[in-house]
Structure 1
Amino acid sequence: MSSITHQSGANDVNRVTRKLKLSGVSEDQADALVSEIRQLAGMETVEYSSASASLTFVYDAAQCSVDAVEKVLNRLGAQFATSAWNRVKMGYFRFTDKNIKDNAAHRPHCCNKIPRR
């Protein structure tokens, strides 16, 4: 059994873990940055490693997205690193976040009925 306490409203099915490198983060900014990101709706855990300059965060993708985290970073003067691997991961994370959000909002219909418009 998991010992993690989940934020209210967060769904296990839509939970994703992301790890990305950051640039432009000073030691003074790191704590403020982590506390600001934790305030986002659907965010569960946020950890910053100063040794590797990486941010690891877990959130409900139906409520939050990697773009919301990026907005908070930009507002505080930090950003995701611009390496090729980080850009590839960001594109993939955006794609999966959108799919999860769209699937969570989808209301299925019965197979023997005319599709809803």
Structure 2
Amino acid sequence: MERNLTTGSVLKNILFFSLPYLLSYFLQTLYGMADLFIIGQFEGVSSTTAVSIGSQVMHMLTVMIVGLAMGSTVSIGQAVGGNNTKKAARSIGNTVTLFMVLSLVLM
């Protein structure tokens, strides 16, 4: 599905473009809340605190990774829009390498 984001209502286009990110962030929050609920039923305060802090760390990492992905998308989009296939290929390769290294570090 192709959608031209440069025409029509700016607010509507921004909302449409940001829906996948908003949905993923909402689901991540629900996941953390479910963890807290389950741990709260069976464990004490220290376990609940640990899960809460862990959820916040995961949120922080998720937001940073999404920011890197957005920046990479802009770089790739500029190269593709400028018909610079060499730069686009290099940007894609660098992005893949970056995220592979990041996933190895985060393991």
Task: Report the TM-score when normalising by structure 2.
Answer: 0.31
Higher strand share: 1
* Higher RCO (C-alpha 8 Å, min separation 6): 1
Larger radius of gyration: 2
- Greater share of helix residues, 1 or 2? 2
Taking structure 1 as the reference length, the TM-score comes to 0.29
